[in-house]
Structure 1
Amino acid sequence: MAPPHVVEDQVRHRIVVEDEIKLKSQYERGYVPMEFTIKEIRDAIPAHLFIRDTTKSIMHVVKDLVTIAAVFYCATYIDTLPSLALRIPAWIAYWIIQGTVMVGPWILAHECGHGAFSDSKMINTIFGWVLHSALLVPYQAWQMSHSKHHKGTGSMTKDVVFVPATRSYKGLPPKDEKSQNETLEHDHHDHEESIFAETPLYTLGSLFFILTLGWPLYLLINLSGQEAPHWINHFQTVAPLFEPHQAMNIFYSNCGIAIMASILTYVSMITSPLTVFMYYGIPYLGVNAWIVCITYLQHTDPMVPHFSDNVWNFQRGAACTVDRSFGKIVDHLHHHIGDSHQCHHMFSQMPFYNAVEATKHLKAKLGKYYLSDDTPIAKALYRSWRQCKFVEDEGDVVFYKH
């Protein structure tokens, strides 16, 4: 017989789960798609917040690069520490800090891809190509596929990434003819019966895999993108992701990757492969983990709806992204991509340094349609990974189930 405190914890957990199911059911049943036009939303934001300042943008690049250089310089002294007990935590601290700081240039290159960095297309291209290539991101190729994501966010057919699997795709039995609340409880019971797949150890293992390898696998095999009849990636000059006239842009992207790979190879030859891995390789994996975590949580949450073609429009999809803070320091280092993302989806050419202020006006305009979540990041990531498994095949507005 279980001890009283164990029984009490189990009962408390079941009550919390049942409350969450009830609230989610009520939210889904009462959801009505937003009726605002994109012009109405834009008019609610002061016009000066849309003005781009190239000098200001470049200063953000300088600040990020100086910070990265300073962190790197400090790391060169790690091996001079007198004991392994000091060197190991010092290296771990370097990897975490540098991996976090290096996300900044990644975000700035992303802004270049949207034209939010400068009014000059040439400046956007130069800075975006250099910064993304330095982080092994195919700038033009991802710019084009990412543009499609923005144009189709929230659509079950138009989006190209973070597209929910359907019940039938997962091979699950058809939806029973029950009330929505009963269906949710049934899904929860099915969840409990999937013992191995839903154990914390399995969840953490799969999360670690997707955080470390999810980004390169998306580039290489279109992981989490729309299903395609054959293998597609971001490096093929002719692929379903792109149009024939875009082949030269893909070539330029590949050149950037090749140049950076050559630089890393040369540095490893004059130093050692281990040195490159310690100073660049592990922080690079950290950048990938941050990008996957940020973007996954922006688009994957039990409260985020997805739309059929019958009811989808741009602003409805753009509003169905979640703003969440990663803490003041990280938000600053990441140029507030996490806590102003809904504004970024509405107006991707707005300069990133104005998005926080614009978000205040956006929140006031959208009201209940402004989505934000203050759940601790680790908890939100764990929750979404366990609960956001599939959506129903039918329905104009569908929500994640598990």
Structure 2
Amino acid sequence: MSVVEATGVSVTSVSKETSVSSPSSNLTTVDTYGREFKVPDYTIKDILSSIPKHCYERSLVRSLGYVARDIVLMVAIGYVGQKYIPMVDFAGHEDASTVARGLLWMGYSYALGLFGFGLWILAHECGHGAFSDYQNINDFVGWVLHSYLIVPYFSWKFSHAKHHKATGHMTKDMVFVPYTKEEYVEARGVSKISEVMEESPIWSFLVLLFQQLGGLQLYLATNATGQPYSGYSRIAKSHYAPKSPVFDKHHFWYIILSDIGIGLTFTMVYQWYKNFGFFNMFVNWFMPWCWVNHWLVFVTFLQHTDPSMPHYKPNEWTFARGAAATIDRNFGFIGQHIFHDIIETHVLHHYVSRIPFYNAREATDAIRKVMGDHYRYEGESMWYSLWKCMRMCQFVDDDKDDAKGVMMFRNVNGLGPVKPRD
């Protein structure tokens, strides 16, 4: 198996490791915690050679089985909820009955949203070719599942592939590209970092709330948190625009097909509303869809944001370094059994996106032996990590003189021992 087949990235992308401007070796800097960060010097070949060959094997039957499992469980939740929640009635206490039913409907939509995100992850596997050996089947299944969740399948597939080719690259990564110190200062209309006032916890909470509720749709509609693409309006950079600079010219009709999928879903939802009523559509599709939006931003933000995580300027970026600029976390039973290990094995996923999730734990154990201290894992509560990252990771800076090009997160909130320099 070739490097391209294993990683799912182009020869051009991998060859950046041996580009004309060779990256420095034995680099160290200081992360946001004040700890020494050693920049990886191993190669993608070192990583790939450590993974057992059977980890690359993909089974269409097994993958379809997980799709069927998630759909069956959603149907089962729907059957039980629709039948029994309306029966909740505390005789003589109508207000209490209404509150109880409301809480149960909220839990019902939450449960559907969990498995809805599970289906999103399986569609994501399709986009990477990890679902099966048959790309046409992968694309059909991915298009159906993502369209149902209002995600333009091919648009996401193409931009996400570019993200994988340039993870952690300050000028070529496609999502969660952080502010530089200069951009952060400019966005706040001041001349230097010391003039930026500390952000209050309330403001951080409001930003976090907006990110979790609207971040995905803002990204899809305007390419927010992606590359700037000067000369294009926000709408022109949309994932729904066939001529968006996010895509290549030959992607045009695939983007149209993605948009058709979204249109068909809206048509279905409208018919759902007309035939079964607003409430039925609201608890069975709209609220679970809102949860899927939340989970996607929650998970992906925390996969690519952490006080220990670097970003690289072009002179120091390599594919192996960029893929290591991710982090595995632990979301317990939900992460492993409903979210298909997308949280627990994401570092491996960035090195080899074609390995199916059910082989990813074994492959992760293998690459950890090569990565050593460069493998990042955080086992604390992800809800705490979300708040911590929002407060500590506001912009990046290469403020250590002997590590120019290796950019670490900094903040103006006085969090962490490292303070940004003007």
Which category of TM-score, normalised to the shorter sequence, fits these structures?
0.7 to 0.9
The 1-side partners of 2:219 and 2:406 are apart by 26
TM-score of the aligned structures, taking structure 1 as reference length: 0.87
How much has 1:175 moved relative to structure 2?
Answer: 7.2
How much has 1:170 moved relative to structure 2?
Answer: 1.5
The 2-side partners of 1:23 and 1:393 are apart by 10
How much has 1:268 moved relative to structure 2?
Answer: 0.5
After superposition, give the CA deviation of every residue in 1:118-157 in whole Å (9 maximum; x if it has no partner).
1111111111111111111100011000001000101001
The 2-side partners of 1:72 and 1:348 are apart by 33
The 2-side partners of 1:340 and 1:308 are apart by 26
The 2-side partners of 1:363 and 1:117 are apart by 24
Match of 2:152 in 1: 138
- After TM superposition, the structure 1 = structure 2 runs for residues 68-147 of structure 1, keeping only pairs within 5 Å, are 68-77=74-83, 78-82=85-89, 83-147=97-161
Match of 1:52 in 2: 58
Query: Tell me, which stretches of 5 or more residues in structure 2 are unaligned?
Result: 1-29, 90-96, 412-422
The 2-side partners of 1:380 and 1:26 are apart by 17
What value does the CA root-mean-square deviation take over the aligned residues?
A: 1.8
AA of the residue aligned to 2:64: I
Partner of 2:315: helix, strand, or coil? coil
- After TM superposition, the structure 1 = structure 2 runs for residues 205-354 of structure 1, keeping only pairs within 5 Å, are 205-229=206-230, 230=232, 231=234, 232-354=237-359
The 1-side partners of 2:336 and 2:106 are apart by 21
The 2-side partners of 1:23 and 1:39 are apart by 27
How much has 1:174 moved relative to structure 2?
Answer: 7.0
How much has 1:26 moved relative to structure 2?
Answer: 4.2
Question: For the Cα contact (< 8 Å) 2:327–2:377, is it kept in 1?
Answer: yes
State the identity as a percent.
37
Alignment CA distance shift 1:54-1:219 (3 Å) = same
Question: For the Cα contact (< 8 Å) 1:167–1:174, is it kept in 2?
Answer: no
Whether 1:398 aligns to 2:407 is yes
Partner of 1:168: helix, strand, or coil? helix
The 1-side partners of 2:207 and 2:43 are apart by 39
AA of the residue aligned to 1:37: T
The 2-side partners of 1:374 and 1:277 are apart by 35
Partner of 1:169: helix, strand, or coil? helix
Higher RCO, 1 or 2 (CA under 8 Å, sep at least 6)?
2
After superposition, give the CA deviation of every residue in 1:161-198 in whole Å (9 maximum; x if it has no partner).
1101011111266779xxxxxxxxxx7xx78x42xx32
Partner of 2:290: helix, strand, or coil? helix
AA of the residue aligned to 2:104: A
How much has 1:335 moved relative to structure 2?
Answer: 0.3
AA of the residue aligned to 1:379: Y
The 2-side partners of 1:390 and 1:42 are apart by 32
The 2-side partners of 1:364 and 1:309 are apart by 27
How much has 1:286 moved relative to structure 2?
Answer: 0.4
After superposition, give the CA deviation of every residue in 1:231-281 in whole Å (9 maximum; x if it has no partner).
210111111011121101001101110111100001101122232112210
Match of 1:179 in 2: none
The 2-side partners of 1:23 and 1:168 are apart by 19
The 2-side partners of 1:321 and 1:244 are apart by 30
Match of 1:184 in 2: none
TM-score of the aligned structures, taking structure 2 as reference length: 0.83
Match of 2:393 in 1: 388
Query: Tell me, which stretches of 5 or more residues in structure 1 are unaligned?
Result: 1-21, 177-186
The 2-side partners of 1:23 and 1:243 are apart by 36
Alignment CA distance shift 1:325-1:359 (3 Å) = same
Question: For the Cα contact (< 8 Å) 1:168–1:393, is it kept in 2?
Answer: no
The 1-side partners of 2:128 and 2:297 are apart by 19
Deviating more after overlay: 204-213 vs 110-119: 204-213
How much has 1:25 moved relative to structure 2?
Answer: 5.8
After superposition, give the CA deviation of every residue in 1:201-260 in whole Å (9 maximum; x if it has no partner).
222222111111100111001111111222210111111011121101001101110111
AA of the residue aligned to 1:305: P
AA of the residue aligned to 2:409: Y
How much has 1:393 moved relative to structure 2?
Answer: 6.7
AA of the residue aligned to 1:48: H
Partner of 1:31: helix, strand, or coil? strand
Alignment CA distance shift 1:79-1:52 (3 Å) = same
Whether 1:355 aligns to 2:364 is no
AA of the residue aligned to 1:397: V
AA of the residue aligned to 1:209: F
Alignment CA distance shift 1:71-1:330 (3 Å) = farther
Partner of 2:311: helix, strand, or coil? strand
Partner of 2:37: helix, strand, or coil? coil
